[in-house]
Amino acid sequence: MAQIAELEIVQNAYYLLEKGASPWVEGDDEYTTARNLANIAIGRWEFYDNTKWKELWTTLDDAASTVTKTITANTYSYTAATDFRYPSSYVRTADSGGSSTYWQVIPVEKSAVYDESNAKVCWFTGSTKTGFTLHFNPNIDLTTGDTIHYEYYKQATKFTATTSTTEMQDTYFISYFIAAHMAEDGVDPDFNNMAESRLEQMRVTNMSQLYGVSEDIPSSLEFGEGFGH
């Protein structure tokens, strides 16, 4: 099922609030306000209750083609995807035969400890403002043509066009959020309560796991929960 795009989300907010037959269109002041509120709603969802949303986990393989995913010998720093927030687990490099080398991700402040080490470690530097960079231990030879692979937690996508979509599961949260905050007499409590209810339901659903599949996977990372924030 295709995700609902910005235009329909804003139109749904219009129908909830105005109950008319001529919804706002791009270029209208109301539409611009609704788009800005939609992005505020996405931000609220993204950081709600410190939730790690399953929809925001992705892989370097799925990142934009403009991101470097191939090793060049003697080059030890590689720009991460523009939506990168923090890594999930080991970084891997794979040779042409498909064999992988596993690199343990360490906090950047511990990188100096490995100044004379041949340990297969790597680390990320940067911020969501300036972007992130992956660094491999420069004491280990890298092979041109090997490919880089890792999973990471991404930044939520914001709306910039009528065709924009979000990773959010329940986009009606956004419509109710817009309607609540565009009400004439301040924030409408009924619309706001509906929005908050949908937000909390997404959090509850996010906590569920696949039937019969354990989530007890040991972690080998040294990163704290605050990395990348």
Place of tokens 């950081």: 47
So what's the pLDDT on residue 220?
Answer: 47
Predicted local distance difference test score (pLDDT) of residue 216: 57
pLDDT at residue 208, as a whole number: 86
Residues facing residue 101 across a β-bridge: 93
Say if CB 134 and CB 124 are below 8 A apart. Answer: yes
Q: What is the spatial distance between Cα 222 and Cα 57, in angstroms, rounded to a whole number?
A: 19
What pLDDT is attached to residue 3? Answer: 85
Pairing between strand 100-105 and 121-127? parallel
Cβ atoms of 108 and 123 closer than 8 Å = yes
Mean pLDDT, 10 residues at a time, the chain of 229 residues: 89 95 95 98 98 97 94 98 95 96 97 96 97 97 97 98 97 98 95 98 89 55 44
**Residue 136 · residue 158 · CB < 8 Å:** no
Question: CA-to-CA distance for 94 and 101, rounded, in angstroms?
Answer: 6
Chain centroid, CA 65 distance in Å: 17
Strands 147-149, 91-94: pairing kind: antiparallel
Domain ranges of the chain: 6-53+158-207, 55-154
| Euclidean distance between CA atoms 68 and 60, whole angstroms | 9
Return the closest-CA partner of residue 174 out of 40, 18, 30.
40
| Count of other CB atoms within 10 angstroms of residue 51 | 15
pLDDT at 212: 59
pLDDT for the residue numbered 160: 98
pLDDT recorded at residue 227: 44
